[in-house]
Amino acid sequence: MNIVSGLFDRIVMQRNPKNRSDQLITGTCSRNAGIVVSVTKNARKIHALTNKLIGKARGQTFEAKLEGLPVGGPYNITLTEVDLKGRGLDNIVCKDILVGDVWLLAGQSNMEGLGMVHEKLAPLDKVRAFYMDNRWDKAEDPIHNLADACAPAHQMINGGVKISRNLWSGTGPGVAFGQTMFAETGIPQGLIASAHGGTGIDQWDPKTAKSGDESLFGAMINRVNRNGGAIAGFIWYQGENDAEPKLSQQYGKKLKRLLNSIRKRLNRIELPAGIVQIGRTATDGSLADCWHSVREQQRQIADQDPRSVIIPSIDLELDDKVHIAGFEQHHLGKRIACAMLSLIDRKYDRYLPLRLRKSCVGKHPLTPWAFIELEFDNVVGKLTSAGRPSGFRLTHANKELEIIYRIELDKNKVRLHVHQVEAALDGTRLYYGYGTNPYCNITDTAGKILPAFGPVAFGKPKAMTEFVLTAAVSDFFPLSTPDESLTYPDKINEISFTPNRFVDAFLSRHRLMAAHAPQSVLCYYRLYLDCHETMETQILLGYDGPVHVWFDKQLTIQDLHGNNPAYVDRARAKISAAKGIHEVLVALSSNSGNAWGIMLRFQRLDVPKALIKSNAYAHMLPCLIVES
């Protein structure tokens, strides 16, 4: 007799919902016969499984089903060929067998494990691994011994050359994951190692399954089938290789297809899946969008699939520019275990990952400024941070806005205070953990880290410039004529303008205006629009005094009754701007010292909706220029 699948020395068999074995065993033999099993534990026979017929041999193969073996062990199992007269003809003995939970580990190098090996954990007998050389043993890093892999796919990926690894690396998350699962449940754990460093998701394409052990997907599925075909769940940590422009946008679709194919091939459509969100890399940041895109697609898949869960790694330390440190791999393994426990048993709901529930924009009750509020599910205790809360990025038209001046943590909420009025946040987008090497430090009391997420969009996206922060301003002039008589200055070249950088979007000159009260005075703001092509544009103006706006010397906006308070986009004017540079001149009356200033920005009206939706319109906006 020879066993092909389902039963080997030191194997961990997957338990069924009744906490018993339900293991399919196949093999080869030389005759037709019955297959009888006998099981012992601590040298004592298990009477219900002694000399029990569990299968038959037909021709050169046999198939048997070992049912009813309780969770635990270790067991010694003997399979015997029995002829029609009940005589034993041949047998095979497998020793040190456990029944528990088996997990499939796949992905690239951070799942394979390239953390410092001197920090590896001491092995436990009840936590075992199916190594790449097709043997079961205690799980001890490195469990991905690729140099000895039996499946030719691994050597083929390496150009046909035997894989070699340095001696100082090899610690991954698998061992810590298995040991945490055993500590929490008391149930033996088995780990099927299937990862390969440096691989992209296309190399895991389910369409390659027909190539069997010569493909990563085929080899992975074959490893599960070799051990009975049943597992407790699937853990995936991959995506770094796809964080580049040509691949990142399609990553989510490919990962969904991979998950669905694994579930279909293993005949378990609700198979639990843990997706580790890719972490950091110490690079120049040129691929920031791509790294964040992969993270967000991973998060969305887990968010939309009730049998999947996201596991953040954005905060973990590295041992080189991209590989998680050995001691941090232990933390990651514990996170994976907690996340998977939350999927498989309601009593572990405290381990459910933090999840963004909703977001909104509001106004501070005592100041003109706005805040962004985020509310999260599954918070244990409250949200907290070591030091000042960090990790958020606010953008408009793909440009970062440095306006977040305080991050407040309040139970299950994060409140971002911004130096901007509420209406000005329309079209902005918020990210957490953006980029290649962000610093993120927000957790709940139980230590669960916020996953990277975003963009979270506020208001209706529009092709809008930022608010003007720099403008050339004039001195003050006595208002010698009524506001309605004001025209574009004939001698504008004789007016002295000084470039002025304002502290925020409200271009306030109130202190100087008020100094002239009760006399009304006039001041000018001037800047230029550089249009790289003909465009339909809209001037958006906020103000709190009588105001005039000229575009290329043509009166465009006039409000003789402007007064307090000022609010965003109070007046609008559509203009057709030809290719080239255009002057914008604003005249504001002090209204006897009651006026403060203006708010000014521009909207392009002829940008395709698809570009606005994708936030890829920044290059189409007019450029703001201030004369020196």
Which is more confident, 390 or 477?
A: 390
Q: What is the mean pLDDT of residues 276-290?
A: 95
265: its two tokens:
């091939």
Which is more confident, 50 or 164?
A: 50
CATH topology of domain 2-98: Immunoglobulin-like (2.60.40)
Q: Give the Cβ contact number of residue 124 at 10 Å.
A: 17
pLDDT of residue 280: 97
Cβ distance 523 to 546 under 8 Å?
Answer: no
The Cα–Cα gap between 10 and 138 comes to 8
pLDDT of residue 628: 57
pLDDT of residue 481: 66
Residue 388, classed as helix, strand or coil, is coil
How far is the CA of 595 from the CAs of 357, 565, 566, in angstroms? 42, 9, 9
- Domains in the chain: boundaries: 2-98, 100-351, 366-457, 470-625
Cβ distance 341 to 181 under 8 Å?
Answer: yes
Asked if the model's pLDDT at residue 615 lies above 80, the reply is no
Q: Which residue has the tokens 């890719």?
A: 278
Asked if the model's pLDDT at residue 536 lies above 80, the reply is yes
Which is more confident, 559 or 512?
A: 559
Least confident range of 206-220, 449-463, 608-622: 608-622
Q: What is the mean pLDDT of residues 349-367?
A: 94
Q: What is the mean pLDDT of the chain?
A: 93
pLDDT of residue 339: 97
Least confident range of 37-46, 385-394, 506-515: 506-515
How many H-runs (helices) and E-runs (strands) does the chain carry? 9, 38
Least confident range of 227-241, 500-514, 583-597: 500-514
pLDDT of residue 482: 67
CATH code for the domain defined by 100-351:
3.40.50.1110
pLDDT of residue 111: 98
Helices (H), 115-250: 152-157, 174-185, 216-226
Give the rounded percent of residues in the chain with a pLDDT score beyond 90: 80
The DSSP code for 418 is E
pLDDT of residue 31: 84
Residue 347, classed as helix, strand or coil, is helix
For every residue of 553-586, DSSP letters joined together read TEEEEEETT--SSP-TT-EEEEEEE-SEEEEEEE
Cβ distance 527 to 491 under 8 Å?
Answer: no
Q: What is the mean pLDDT of residues 167-179?
A: 95
pLDDT tier for residue 567 given thresholds of 50, 70 and 90: confident
Tell me: the pLDDT tens digits for 411-446? 999 999 998 888 888 888 999 999 999 999 999 999
pLDDT of residue 292: 97
The Cα–Cα gap between 469 and 428 comes to 17
Least confident range of 132-136, 166-170, 541-545: 166-170
How far is the CA of 51 from the CAs of 45, 54, 81, 145, in angstroms? 10, 9, 11, 38
pLDDT tier for residue 376 given thresholds of 50, 70 and 90: very high
Q: Which residue has the tokens 């521009």?
A: 602
CATH code for the domain defined by 470-625:
2.60.120.260
Element containing residue 221 per DSSP (H, E) = helix 216-226
Tell me: the pLDDT tens digits for 107-140? 999 999 999 988 889 999 999 999 999 999 999 9
pLDDT tier for residue 63 given thresholds of 50, 70 and 90: very high
Cβ distance 357 to 376 under 8 Å?
Answer: yes
HSE toward the beta carbon, residue 295, CA cutoff 13 A: 29
pLDDT of residue 53: 94
The Cα–Cα gap between 544 and 595 comes to 5
Q: How would you class 579 by CB atoms within 10 Å of its CB: exposed for 0-12, middle for 13-18, buried for 19 or more? A: exposed
pLDDT of residue 320: 95
609: its two tokens:
């909706």
Judge whether 100-351 and 470-625 match in fold. Answer: no
Among 303, 239, 309, which residue's Cα sits nearest to residue 456?
Answer: 303
Q: What is the mean pLDDT of residues 249-254?
A: 96
Cβ distance 79 to 25 under 8 Å?
Answer: yes
Among 191, 276, 261, 213, which residue's Cα sits nearest to residue 451?
Answer: 276
pLDDT of residue 398: 78
Tell me: the pLDDT tens digits for 214-251? 999 999 999 999 999 999 999 999 999 999 999 999 99
pLDDT of residue 304: 95
Asked if the model's pLDDT at residue 337 lies above 90, the reply is yes
pTM of the model: 0.85
Asked if the model's pLDDT at residue 483 lies above 80, the reply is no
Cβ distance 300 to 277 under 8 Å?
Answer: no
